[in-house]
Amino acid sequence: MAVIVGATAMVLPTTFAKSISKNTISSLSSIYNTHFLHHLPPQIHGYNSYGKYRNWVRNCSGICSIEGENNGTSVIRSPNLVALEYADLNLPHNCEEVGHVRIRQHVNPLTSAYSIPAEPPDWNAVYKDSTLPLMVDVGCGSGRFLLWLAKRNISHQNYLGLEIRGKLVKRANIWAMELGISNAHFIFANATVSFQQLVSSYPGPLMLVSVLCPDPHFKKKHHKRRVLQKPLVDAIVNNLSSGGQVFMQSDVLEVAVDMRNQFDSVSDLSHIDAINPSFICDHDGWLLSNPMGIRTEREIHAELEDAKIYRRMYQKNG
């Protein structure tokens, strides 16, 4: 059996080949997670980790197909690549409590329904240890990104996802409970109006805020709908602890430049490459790699279409 990525065919070991006879993504994800690290194809010798192989796939044409014994082909598209990226979470695409979640791509945050600040939860009930450093992901989407991070830092950091689409929040909290992840929580909130009230009440230090591929709201008359407005920038910087960081990215250059300009104007923040030379940027000042160790779902979709991801990371001055 061979896996074909673009024009590259890889002959897989017999144990792996037998395992992927089923062409469902759910079985493929679990098989990938349990077998691939131990049965690396010779064509990618040296790619001896999940992350390195993921990067290798990303750098190929973006279309991966699996040839079965009967020469049938199953094409892996971006939703399948998302499943592969987050395979070790072993999450279903939906759950019984919320049914099939139809994602509304564009939400107008200026409507009255989203103008009321969200009430802070009982942090001691939300987290096992509410004094741990906090990461907040603004516009967390499905929550997979935060759950992946939380699972790897279960006793070192708490994670809070703010999302304006309520069904996604409900599902993400169910996932966190089912996975036994006690350091991740999700809140239905318009971050622009709720960030200050929520984060200022948290008992521990705010150490990282991410704003990753927010809705671009392309039309000029809709730019006021963009999540990163001055009140949110001020709330992030004011609540960020000394040495805390802000990570922003977008696959839309105009949006990335707008976010960069807002954070560049804050005197309390320094771009990370000025502090740590190991963070390498291109000639325009964009980070060349993702420092988080995992891609967001939007990032996966964008890179599949050969889009560039524009990234900046800032650190609050001591």
Distance between the two ends of the chain, CA-based, in angstroms? Answer: 56
CB count, 10 Å around CB of 282? 10
Distance CA 131, CA 110 (A): 33
Burial class (CB in 10 A: 0-12, 13-18, 19+), 295: buried
Q: In the annotation, is 306 catalytic? A: no
Distance CA 90, CA 93 (A): 10
Catalytic position from the list 215, 258, 264, 306:
215
Beta bridge partner(s), residue 7? none
Burial class (CB in 10 A: 0-12, 13-18, 19+), 213: buried
Contact 250, 294 (CB under 8 A): no
* Ramachandran category for residue 56: left, alpha or beta (phi over 0 → left; psi -120 to 50 → alpha): alpha
Long-range CB contacts (< 8 A, 24+ apart) of 120-125? Answer: 120/197, 120/198, 120/201, 120/202, 121/185, 121/187, 123/201, 123/202, 123/203
Among the listed residues 95, 110, 114, the one whose alpha carbon sits nearest the alpha carbon of residue 170: 95
**Catalytic residue positions?**
215
